[in-house]
Amino acid sequence: MAMRILIVGAGAVGGYFGGRLAQAGRDVTFLVRPSRAKQLRQDGLRIVSPHLNAVLTPKLVSAEEIDSAYDFVFLSVKAYALEAAMNDFAAAIGPETMMFPALNGMRHIDLLARRFGEHAVIGGVCLVASEIDDEGRIVQLADFQQLVYGERNGETTPRLKTLDATLQGAGFDARLSTDIMQAMWEKWVQLASLGAITCLARGTIGEIVAAPGGADLSLKVLDESAAVATACGHKPSETLLARHAAAMTAPESSLTSSMYRDLRKGALVEADHILGDFIERGDAHGITTPLLKAAFVNLRVYKERLPKR
């Protein structure tokens, strides 16, 4: 029987992967806020992508309309919005529901497991560069698009095999992992490093590298992040670090982080979840992270200046 899929949020990430799944014929419903629902009903779910554009008529539901459990729930809200969102999708979680939280960092795992039980929460890594433009379209900024998922204990269970079969052939790269926690930590290293340097320097990687000492500063930030992950038992591979080092020192690169893009828009940023929690875990192991801390303080000052919501 086909899996019933609930995508929580139809923004840059949930809208993209949920849209591709719906386009591939999967049973997909989006849980969205009234304003986004109105826009989607009027204009459709629009994707602008190097992998072909799409306009879909999505199946939508509000929190009050959820009346049964779903097989698979894909969480794509920002980390700072998770606690409020949990109340919205709680009715969709049953004894056999799998939740794939496509959030950054690790704090969300504890929050979800505490609310819905350890069994409900699988590990996941989402790799895509996308944003919502002024017209409400989902715009993919680069050609990579991948979901990686697995049981947090490393087992290959029947339910994960069913999920894997559902996600394969849906228009993006999908991979079942037996070491998903390592994959999540490695992504966290990349997010913390790229987020810290682009927000601290207020520029793209190319602009940072063009400044005297910029490339060296980027590498020092990466070294701090790798040291935290290593101390926490998840040492990044040398191959991965070399790839990140090359990306973070590439001349004329337009690469930025989602935190920096949010900052430029004057929006909330995930500083506490991507940097704050990361730094705290490093501190617990005696790891010194002056550049990460400088970026975090910078972003906390920025947050305090935002209009209260």
**Phi and psi at residue 185, in whole multiples of 5°?**
-65, -40
Looking at the DSSP assignment, which residues form a beta bridge with residue 85?
none
pLDDT in tens, 271-301: 999 999 999 999 999 999 999 999 999 999 9
59 in catalytic set: no
* Active-site annotation holder among 187, 220, 265, 303: 187
pLDDT in tens, 73-82: 999 988 888 9
What is the rounded distance in angstroms from the CA atom of residue 207 to the CA atom of residue 193?
A: 16
**What confidence category does residue 129 fall into, taking pLDDT thresholds of 50, 70 and 90?**
confident
pLDDT at position 67 is 92
User: Residue 1 pLDDT > 90, yes or no?
Assistant: no
Q: What is the mean pLDDT of residues 126-143?
A: 91
What is the rounded distance in angstroms from the CA atom of residue 3 to the CA atom of residue 147?
A: 17
**What confidence category does residue 253 fall into, taking pLDDT thresholds of 50, 70 and 90?**
very high
Q: What's the first-to-final CA gap in the chain, in angstroms?
A: 43
| Sheet architecture: strand order including 72-75 | 59-61, 27-31, 4-8, 72-75, 98-101
**What confidence category does residue 195 fall into, taking pLDDT thresholds of 50, 70 and 90?**
very high
pLDDT at position 202 is 96
User: Residue 309 pLDDT > 70, yes or no?
Assistant: no
Q: Do residues 26 and 3 lie in contact, with contact meaning Cβ atoms separated by under 8 Å?
A: yes
User: Residue 245 pLDDT > 70, yes or no?
Assistant: yes
pLDDT at position 41 is 95
What pTM did the predictor assign? 0.90
Q: What does the longest C-alpha to C-alpha distance in the chain come to?
A: 59
Q: Do residues 204 and 302 lie in contact, with contact meaning Cβ atoms separated by under 8 Å?
A: no
Q: Which stretches of the chain are DSSP H helices?
A: 14-23, 34-43, 82-89, 107-116, 158-167, 180-201, 205-210, 214-231, 238-247, 258-265, 271, 277-284, 290-305
What is the rounded distance in angstroms from the CA atom of residue 194 to the CA atom of residue 200?
A: 10
pLDDT in tens, 27-43: 999 999 999 999 999 99
Token pair belonging to 214: 């910029």
Q: Do residues 71 and 5 lie in contact, with contact meaning Cβ atoms separated by under 8 Å?
A: yes
Average pLDDT in the chain: 95
CB count, 10 Å around CB of 254?
11
User: Residue 60 pLDDT > 70, yes or no?
Assistant: yes
Q: List the one residue out of 138, 91, 146, 84 whose CA is nearest residue 111.
A: 84
- Map residue 128 onto helix, strand or coil: strand
pLDDT at position 169 is 95
What is the rounded distance in angstroms from the CA atom of residue 253 to the CA atom of residue 250?
A: 6
